[in-house]
Amino acid sequence: MELGTVNNFDALVDQALTEFAASQGGITTPDKKADYVDYAGFLQEISDEDQELAKSEITVASEIEENKLDDETNELLNDIKDNPNGWFNKSTWVANEKGEFVRRSDGEIFTIGGEDLVSVADEPIVDNAEQELTEFERKRIRAEKLARGADKWKHNRDLRKIEINRMAFDQKILPLNDKLRQEDKRLVIELLTKPLRLLMIKYRDYIDNRVTKLLAPAIPPAVKLAAAKWPWIFIQNPGFLYKTHPHFGEVKTFWVNPKVPYFFKQGTEQAILEERDASLSPYFLDCLDRAIHRWYTARDNLAKREVFYATKMINIKGNTYYHLLMLNPFWFEKLYEHVKQQSLNDLN
């Protein structure tokens, strides 16, 4: 999603809430106020879901960077460096003393250039000084922060390598002279690719939940209430094939499984999504399209990494745990921590 789209969403939300309030008439009743709060809450949920997905991507980017070899590319981290504001902004709406929802602040939900190179921030970070700068100046400052952070991160990484090597010679769980078994090699590959596999699940859940949220308002309340009360007599929506939009790049298809009753004629769901709230739907569906494209990218990257890691494990110079340690201390540590935890679980 482009930066302009994020900012546009902020403006659209302000406009939508204003129009919604105006549509309620001059007299504010408890029911109207409740509807208004529900609508603003719905928009906030959408923003929060986008934030959680972005946090997952940032975490995976950091984990890939931690375990990659020198000749490996970290596509997610490169995307964050190239367009840091493109995805990772957060706007929070809070109720003021009049019960109206207003935007509290815009801020990035990640820190860049710290000891972890890139990491998730607990709260949105707003740099008021940076707000006054041009986008070019902000990019320059971020590049400088990243360069400083990269030096710090590399220094800390080198220190960790020394610590892992010391630990490896002291521990007894994976004796360094013992043979590195075939199942251990497979396990190393599985542990290294786990973040991407989990991210693919995150994308799928995000897509299904987003479509569920957008379709639910089109189902009459009586039907939803009946489905909640007597679920055994309602058929679940069997899913449908969603197509991304051409303006977002190559058209991709994705089978979506919304958690709603089978109320719509199958195959009409996407048309209904596009007809809902004309002003906000483009943003909602852009986020959906982006997640689908990202799912495909993650799937392709997963396949590449599985081949890459398998090649490294097959061509490892030697066949002991010591040789795994020499290949990559962080890979050895991953296997060590997994086997250690498994042993503790077996004891319990």
Q: Please state the separation of Cα 188 from the chain's center in Å.
A: 24
Checking if the pLDDT of 24 tops 70, the result is no
CA–CA dist 25, 18 (Å, integer): 12
CA–CA dist 112, 146 (Å, integer): 6
Q: Among 52-56, 243-247, 251-255, where is mean pLDDT lowest?
A: 52-56
- Mention every residue, 6+ apart, whose C-beta is less than 8 A from residue 27: none
* pLDDT above 70 as % of the chain: 63
Sign, CA torsion 196/197/198/199: positive
Q: What are the helix (H) ranges across the chain? A: 3-23, 30-67, 75-82, 128-131, 135-170, 182-215, 221-229, 269-275, 281-314, 321-327, 329-347
Token couple for 278? 């004309």
Q: Evaluate whether residue 237 is within a structural domain.
A: yes
Checking if the pLDDT of 249 tops 70, the result is yes
Mean pLDDT of the region 41-55? 77
Contact 248, 286 (CB under 8 A): yes
Q: How many structural domains are present in the chain?
A: 1
Contact 95, 160 (CB under 8 A): no
Q: What is the DSSP string of 132-181?
A: TS-HHHHHHHHHHHHHHHHHHHHHHHHHHHHHHHHHHHH-SSS-TTSB--
Angle at 238 between CA 235 and CA 240, to 5 degrees: 145
Mean pLDDT of the region 84-100? 47
Q: How confident is the model at residue 91 (pLDDT cuts 50, 70, 90)?
A: very low
CA–CA dist 29, 35 (Å, integer): 10
How far, CA to CA in Å, does 319 sit from each of 249, 310, 315, 316? 45, 14, 10, 7
Checking if the pLDDT of 246 tops 60, the result is yes
Q: Evaluate whether residue 81 is within a structural domain.
A: no
Q: Evaluate whether residue 41 is within a structural domain.
A: no
Which pLDDT belongs to residue 51?
75
Q: What is the pLDDT of the chain when averaged over all its residues? A: 75
Q: Evaluate whether residue 96 is within a structural domain.
A: no
What residue numbers bound the domain in which 247 lies? 178-348
Q: How confident is the model at residue 236 (pLDDT cuts 50, 70, 90)?
A: confident
CA–CA dist 240, 77 (Å, integer): 33
Q: Evaluate whether residue 321 is within a structural domain.
A: yes
Q: Evaluate whether residue 254 is within a structural domain.
A: yes
Q: Evaluate whether residue 59 is within a structural domain.
A: no
Q: How confident is the model at residue 60 (pLDDT cuts 50, 70, 90)?
A: confident
Contact 163, 321 (CB under 8 A): no
Q: How confident is the model at residue 324 (pLDDT cuts 50, 70, 90)?
A: very high
Checking if the pLDDT of 238 tops 70, the result is yes
* pLDDT above 90 as % of the chain: 26
Q: Among 88-92, 257-261, 286-290, where is mean pLDDT lowest?
A: 88-92
How far, CA to CA in Å, does 197 sit from each of 103, 237, 270, 300? 35, 26, 27, 11
Checking if the pLDDT of 301 tops 90, the result is no
Tokens 């809450």 belong to residue: 41
**Segment of 111-115, 215-219, 267-271, 301-305 carrying the highest mean pLDDT:** 301-305
Q: How confident is the model at residue 334 (pLDDT cuts 50, 70, 90)?
A: very high
Checking if the pLDDT of 253 tops 90, the result is yes
Q: How confident is the model at residue 52 (pLDDT cuts 50, 70, 90)?
A: confident
Checking if the pLDDT of 309 tops 80, the result is yes
Checking if the pLDDT of 66 tops 90, the result is no
Contact 237, 66 (CB under 8 A): no
Mind listing the pLDDT tens digit for each residue in 114-163? 445 555 555 544 455 555 566 667 667 666 766 666 677 777 788 889 99
Q: Among 123-127, 184-188, 195-199, 255-259, where is mean pLDDT lowest?
A: 123-127
Q: Evaluate whether residue 250 is within a structural domain.
A: yes
